[in-house]
Each structure stands twice: as structure tokens, then as C-alpha cells.
Chains A and B, each alone.
Chain A
């Protein structure tokens, strides 16, 4: 099974900050890497697919990069509505594993 490891597990940031979350796969997943945002009590929402493609309707302050085993989600200027938990997920093979999540909190 491919293990997905996110860092950090949590972070505190202020509105307007640039935030970077990393995701590392235990073996190459090519570009089969996706990012989701989840707010408390809500279903996850797709933000970025295939490592760097912005899902329709997602603000351009979100971006993704990477390929192979190392990936990054960046929020260029954190907004109040961005405080949430973020997950990476690989769809290269089954089981389609998720990272453990990164909780972005208000500083």
C-alpha cells in the first residue's frame, strides 16, 4: 500500500499569510495526487486534482505542485474561510490512501 504523509499535522496562521502544506508518498504516484478541503461537519471538497489543476470554482489563491513522491499545496493569501482541514489523496493504486490531514487554525 502507498502511504501518504502530510506535514505539518496542524498550523496556526493569520489572515493574509502564505501557507504551504506538503504531502509525501511512500512510492511514486506520478500526478495521481489530489487535495481536498474539509470544514467541520461538512463533506470534503475537491480543491486541486492531478497535483496542480485547480478544480472549477476554487479561488486562484490555491495552487498545487509536485510529481512523483513530493507534493505541495499553497494558499497564497489565507482568507477567513480557508480555516479548515486539508487532505491529500493518491488515486494511482488501490487502496486509494489519504494523508492524515493538516488542520489550519487561526493564529
Chain B
């Protein structure tokens, strides 16, 4: 079964750091680009970051640029999001999602999400 499972969410103080992980299984992880998408409470979806299959390209939303770092370990079938200088507005459910180039990078597989709460 194709699956993505996020972990690492939790409660963190403003200015703090957190590292999210996404474990992939059931497909050849190294063949796919990956994304992080978040959803603040009661709000819509916000794309956060992208990483290519080989890690050669990374992109970020302006709202997180310079504070968040996306990375991956193809040997471990894992995706990561390092989040620093966290703000209240980063509070959200964070989803990892697979993008398939054959679908013009539509996000065809999603994890269940992990919740990040930034509060004092």
C-alpha cells in the first residue's frame, strides 16, 4: 500500500524549532518529488515547500523562506521539514504530499498530517 506517515508535530514556543518527518512506503520514493502543505485551523490549504527527487531543487513559500528547510533521505525513504524561528501563524496541520511528474506534479498521495502548535 502506498503510504505517507508524518510525525514530529507538537507544541512549541514562539521562536522555537521543530523537525517534521514523513515516512514513505509502498512506492519508489527516490523517483518522486515531494511537498509540504499546511492548513491553519479553519483555513484553506497553503503550499509550503517542494523538493525534487534528487534534492537538486528546493522551493519555499515566501511565508517560510529563510526559516524552514526541506530535505530528504532517499535511502531511508524519508522527507523532512526543519522549522526554525516559529511564529504563531505557523500553527497548522502539516501534510506531506507526493507529486508525480506524469500528472504534471499533481499531489496524488497525501499523509494524514501532523499538528504543529506555536504558543507560549
Contact = CB atoms under 8 A, between A and B. Distances in A.
B45 A96 contact: no
Q: Which of B45, B61, B97 has the most CB of A within 10 A?
A: B45
- Consensus secondary structure, chain A interface: loop
Contact of A34 (B62, B107, B112, B113): B107
Contacts of A1: 62
A97 interface: yes
Interface stretch (A11-19, A20-28, A73-81, A86-94): A86-94
Interface residues of B, number: 24
A59 interface: no
Q: Which of A87, A95, A97, A98 has the most CB of B within 10 A?
A: A95
Nearest to A35: B106
A95 B59 contact: yes
Interface of B: 35, 37, 44-47, 50, 59-62, 95, 97, 99, 103-108, 110-113
